[in-house]
Amino acid sequence: MSGQEIVFTLLGVVAVGAGILVVTTRRLVHAALWLVVSFGALAGGYLVLTAEFVAWVQVLIYVGAIVVLLLFGIMLTRAPIGESADLDSGNRWAALAVAAATAAVLVTVLVMGFGDRRMPLHAGGGSARELGAGVFRTWVLPFEVLSVLLLASLVGAIVLSRSDIGPRDSGTGPRKEDG
């Protein structure tokens, strides 16, 4: 094993370990903080794979924005210090099964797709220039489709949060508008 592989494996262990702690800890805010560790280790993994740009965007978006949003949400609704007894639902075994199945599918796809083929890393292979060329030349259609998906969720969020912009009730009972 080369030094790179050792570091990558360690980061992977940290990411998975922190991820497990996210769902098993009994302290709500700790879960969000373990998520920071997990995302950070993931960013480190990108760095080892020379994908510098993706790594820092990962930190900027997920640690800097998503986790802050999560923490804000937790604080806005409830932010208990200490252990909460009601964090587990009866679905935990079903959730475990789904998670294991998803992992199995992903690992199978990767193994079937690549096997033990090795790809040489070269410095700058994941730079912003390479990435931009890839996204906006080769993969521009999937990229645009993804942005439509984001737009749909944006519109949905507005419809859900603004109950005052739907059609007014005219005595015929409530009408539902879907996003």
Partner 1 sequence: MLEVVVKLALVAGAFALLPLLVGQAEHKVMAHMQGRLGPMYAGGFHGWAQLIADGVKFAQKEDVVPRDADRWVFKLAPGVALVPYLLVLLVIPVGPGGQVALDLGPGVFFALAVMGVGVIGAIMAGWASANKYSLLGGMRVAAQLMSYELPMVFAAASVAMAAGTLSLQGIVGEWRWWWLPWQAVGAVVFFVAGLAELRRPPFDMPVADSEIIFGPYTEYGGLRFALFLLAEYAGIVVLCALTAVLFLGGWKGPFLNTELGWLWTLLKVGVLAFCVIWLRVSYPRMREDQLQKLAWAWLVPLSLAQLALTGVLRVAL
Closest to partner 1 by CB, 11 vs 55, is 55
Nearer to partner 1, 18 or 36 (CB): 36
Report, in Å, the least distance between residue 53 CB and partner 1: 5
Binding region for partner 1 (CB under 8 A): 27, 29-30, 33, 36, 52-53, 56-57, 59-60, 63-65, 67-69, 71-72, 75-76, 79, 81-82, 124, 127-128
Could you tell me the smallest distance in angstroms from the CB atom of residue 85 to partner 1? 17
Distance CA 136, CA 171 (A): 51
CB of 12 or CB of 64, closer to partner 1: 64
* Min CB(141)–partner 1 separation in Å: 22
Q: Within the chain, what is the greatest distance between any pair of CA atoms?
A: 73
Residue 19 beta carbon to partner 1: minimum distance, rounded to whole angstroms: 18
When the beta carbons of 105 and 132 are compared against partner 1, the nearer one is: 132
Smallest distance, Å, CB 35 to partner 1?
Answer: 11
Which positions ≥6 away from 42 have C-beta within 8 Å?
Answer: 11, 15, 58
Which H, E and C letters describe 104-133, residue by residue?
HHHHHHHHHHHCCCCCCCCCCCCCHHHHHH
Output 161 or 172, the one with its CB closest to partner 1: 161
Q: What gap in Å lies between CA 126 and CA 111, rounded to an integer? A: 22
Rounded Cα distance between 126 and 146, Å, is 21
- With beta carbons less than 8 A apart as the criterion, state whether 59 and 33 touch: no
